[in-house]
Structure 1
Amino acid sequence: MLVTVNYRSLLCISLVAAWLPLCMAQTSSAPAAPGPSLSQAQADLHHGKNADAIAVLEKLAAANPAQPGVQHALGLAFYRTGRLPQAKEAFEKAIAQNPKDIESVQLEGLTLFRMGQPKAAIPYLEKAKQWMPTANADASHVLGLCYMNAQQFDDARRAFAAEYDLPPDSAAAHLILAQMLMLSNLTDQGAAEAQKALALQPGLPMAHFLIGEVDLFKSQVDEAVQQLQAEQKINPTYPPVYSRLGDAYFRIGKYDQAEQALLKSLALSTSSTGPFILMGKVLLRKQDPETAAMYLRHAEQMDPASFITHTLLGQAYRRMGDEADARKEFEAAEKLQNASRLHLGAIQ
């Protein structure tokens, strides 16, 4: 049998056979969908999407632990979300990869401080400060706090002086350190620094006030009065001087002087409830519940959550013979106290 060959069909088959492998090769070499990238994670960090950034960065770190920038970004994301042990580990890896990564060094110090390891934080924060004298202000402040915690008070003074652009051995530098010590409940050391400030500059405002506050805290009332009176002469427009004087006079039963001091404080500023409450206490001692109630009602409007104010106002109403309002105030005070106890219990 004669077989007829269709050359046109053979040509088409040949072309298809030649084209098919090429098509398959092109399909197999098509680019895969892009995976997670460092730039994507950095964009997430920039927009506050820390959880998304962590998810991407952990994949990148698992795939290539030595990829530059990944551990730094991962540490930053952990730091922002309060996962401090993980942040510490990530910054350590970032520093091992690049010892000149200033931000990782600084953040490692801040992380250690937040973890309650101020002494361990000092070398990192010192190094960051050496490399960048105008580095992050928070890091400069934390370095001073770390020095304080380590009882390196001279170093702390120099750190705070640099933060506030003060000569390190000046009276003002000693006063700044005194204030920081007071805020850290290191009252005796704070008073000692304030004394050093006064030795260098006898007329320096606020030094006598700080010493007076320490004296008042230690119930050394006569000494407190002397210091506060000295501050009044130097700094006569500072309202807390008069409120502290009012407190001191109240403690030693000099109610008229206490009232006068508190009136001066309130004449200069009515932004704090303290003088109003103290005035109420003074006037109750002076057997003037009506006027006491006026000051205490103002304090209550400013801060309805003060159980002390409600208690004193209840006492004032009771002395005025208003038993119904007295009972309301005492009940409000009791509720606030109970809520405070429950809150403290939950924290503990």
Structure 2
Amino acid sequence: MRVLLPVLMLVGSFAVPVAAQAQNPAPGQGNSQFQELLNLCVQLFRLGRYQDALAVCERSVRSNPTNPDGLYWLARTQLRLGLTTAAVENLRKAIAQNAAYVQAYVALAQAYYDQYRLSDNREASRGVLDQALTVLRDAERINPKYAPIFATRGVVYSALGTYDRAVEAFNRSLALERDPQVIGLLANVYLKQSKLDDALKLLDEGVKAFPKDFTLRLNYGVALLIKNEPAAAIEQLKQATVINPAEAEGYVRLGQAYQVAKDWKNAGANFQNAVVKSPFKYPEAYAGLGRSYLELGDAAKARENFTKAVAMDSRNAEYYYWLGRANEALGNKAGAKDAYTRALQLRPGYKDAEEALARVQ
């Protein structure tokens, strides 16, 4: 099965403390109500209750339409909900009210990046990345020592495929502030450059500096899997599941590490944990569980889980191949033939599927 690096989220990743962002409301009627609403908006945002936060943030802006803090937090919430056009509009308004509001510039660049990321045609949307870079240059003129400017610039350059510039930007951010999320982002760029040893070195330093950071542990474990060091990967991924036992992805990656080690019992147990915690997100968990059952001699349960995997990701040739193997083990040659044929349609020249199809003809 494929082993994939976790995807790190950009939007909201570089938030500074609320107190550092607060602007003093202009004197006048309604400021007390505005501040109460703004404080509640921020509190709900921090709790991850974005839909509730949106309603409160909108009320705060209605009570004081020109306050840049209200506009900023409304936009941040809109970004979390994928409302990028509205977020861009509100961040521009915030900057118009306070041209030195550096956090708003960074959030605006993140909003442009999100418009690119969420676009159905990324090639046609690359222009918004240039807009993001322009906004970040403006932010740098205001505060050249604000680390999130360079972290966000690194993400934009990575999206553009200019990895050397991304590395330079991430390193500049880390020189200003050691942030575990930026360490993970830089490690991902090293992996895109096929610099596995550089990524491993950085991630090793990262988990030593931030031993309780779940995402760093997760990335380190997966990078060790790419290095084909499953025992070391298992150690890191076990720690990740201890740090955040509620997050399904830790169990998915730990299951994959046990799979590489051919410890099918522990692999299956972790994939089972993953599908219980997040039943609709990770087709690779069902595929891994199916493979574990197949190796442990339960082809019926293997077929059940491979069927779920292909239902969730119908473009994955590997899942169809293993569904064919499960059907073949159950003596269902027609089902195996259909699955192998589909695997070859998705991946012409897939040698294992070609041999399997010949076997059941």
Which category describes the TM-score, using the shorter chain as reference length? 0.5 to 0.7
Alignment partner of 1:331 out of 330, 333, 341:
341
Shift of 1:251: 2.1
- Report the CA distance shift for 1:207/1:107 in structure 2 as closer, same or farther (over 3 A): closer
Contact 2:287 2:306 in 1 (8 A): yes
Contact 1:158 1:173 in 2 (8 A): no
Deviations 1:246-281 (A, max 9, x none): 112122221111111111111111212101111111
In the alignment, the residues of structure 1 paired with residue 130 and residue 227 of structure 2 have an alpha-carbon distance, to the nearest angstrom, of 39
Alignment partner of 1:278 out of 280, 288, 310:
288
Shift of 1:155: 4.5
Two-structure CA RMSD over aligned residues (Å) = 4.0
Residue of structure 1 in register with 2:277 after alignment: 268
Residue of structure 1 in register with 2:164 after alignment: 150
Question: Which has the larger Rg?
Answer: 1
Residue of structure 1 in register with 2:299 after alignment: 289
1:312 aligns with 2:333: no
In the alignment, the residues of structure 2 paired with residue 305 and residue 149 of structure 1 have an alpha-carbon distance, to the nearest angstrom, of 29
In the alignment, the residues of structure 1 paired with residue 311 and residue 246 of structure 2 have an alpha-carbon distance, to the nearest angstrom, of 26
Q: Secondary structure at the match of 1:297?
A: helix
For residues 201-240 of structure 1, the aligned pairs below 5 Å read 201-240=210-249
For residue 316 of structure 1, what is the amino acid of its counterpart?
A
Alignment partner of 1:194 out of 188, 203, 221:
203
For residues 16-165 of structure 1, the aligned pairs below 5 Å read 107=130, 128-131=138-141, 141-142=155-156, 149-150=163-164, 153=167, 155-159=169-173
Q: Secondary structure at the match of 1:242?
A: helix
Identity of aligned residues (%): 19
Shift of 1:152: 8.2
Contact 2:299 2:329 in 1 (8 A): yes
Structure 2 residues without counterparts, runs of 5 or longer: 1-121, 351-361
Q: Secondary structure at the match of 2:214?
A: coil
In the alignment, the residues of structure 1 paired with residue 236 and residue 150 of structure 2 have an alpha-carbon distance, to the nearest angstrom, of 37
Contact 1:289 1:319 in 2 (8 A): yes
Which one has more relative contact order, counting CA pairs under 8 Å at least 6 apart? 2
Deviations 1:105-127 (A, max 9, x none): x95996xxxxxxxxxxxxx9986
In the alignment, the residues of structure 2 paired with residue 257 and residue 232 of structure 1 have an alpha-carbon distance, to the nearest angstrom, of 14
Residue of structure 2 in register with 1:114 after alignment: none
Contact 2:151 2:169 in 1 (8 A): no
Aligned residues: 224
Residue of structure 2 in register with 1:6 after alignment: none
Shift of 1:204: 2.1
Structure 1 residues without counterparts, runs of 5 or longer: 1-79, 88-102, 111-123, 341-348
1:247 aligns with 2:256: yes
